[in-house]
Amino acid sequence: MNIKYSTFYTLIINFVKINGFSNNYWGWGLEDDDLFTRISIHGISFDKKIDNYTRLTNDGNGVTDDDHYMPLYNFNQQFLYHIRSTKDYNISGLNNLRYEVIETEIYNGIKKIKII
């Protein structure tokens, strides 16, 4: 297996191990902190490349300019606290993701699944 595919395979295995992204975050904020917490719980290492970024504007579901927390952000914050304090990352993620398979296809020995 070459390096490119080995790295991709490891990424997929680790993503499944941490139960993917949570399905409980809405609006603006903390989903990236949740993902970092899940990675940290499992001791998975990764490159922490520092780069410049531009903060995106939000539609009021996060933090206002005066640091006033909005309702959805508060919900997200409580959920993240629960994940960090209990380390129960299985509460939401790949294990309870709902989807419907609409098409499957085998291509070069690899099963391709189209979902909605």
Q: What residues have CB less than 8 Å from 80, skipping those under 6 apart?
A: 30, 33, 34, 37
Among positive and negative, which fits the CA dihedral 57, 75, 87, 95? Answer: negative
Helix (H) and strand (E) counts for the chain? Answer: 3, 2
Cα–Cα distances (Å) from 80 to 19, 37, 38, 67, 83, in that order, read: 15, 9, 10, 18, 5
Per-residue model confidence (pLDDT) at position 56: 66
Q: Please state the domain count of the chain.
A: 1
Can you list the positions of beta strands (E) in 27-107? 101-107
Residue with the bigger pLDDT between 43 and 51: it is: 43
Note the pLDDT of residue 53.
Answer: 67
Q: Give mean pLDDT, residues 95-101.
A: 91
Residue 99 has pLDDT above 70, yes or no: yes
Averaged pLDDT of the chain? 81
Lowest mean pLDDT among 20-24, 68-72, 79-83: 68-72
If you average pLDDT over residues 31-51, what whole number do you get? 84
Q: In this predicted model, which residue has the larger pLDDT, 52 or 85?
A: 85
Contacts of 105 (CB under 8 A, 6+ apart): 111, 112, 114
* Structural domain for 34, as ranges: 3-46+53-115
Rg of the chain over Cα atoms, rounded to whole angstroms, equals 18
Measured from the Cβ of residue 91, the count of other Cβ atoms closer than 10 Å reads: 15
Determine the Cα–Cα distance for residues 63 and 49; give it in Å rounded to an integer. 25
Average pLDDT over residues 54-76: 65
- pLDDT exceeds cutoff 60 at 7: yes
Of 99, 98, 96, 94, which Cα lies nearest the Cα of 18?
A: 94
Does the structure show a pLDDT above 90 at 72? no
For range 94-104, the mean pLDDT: 92
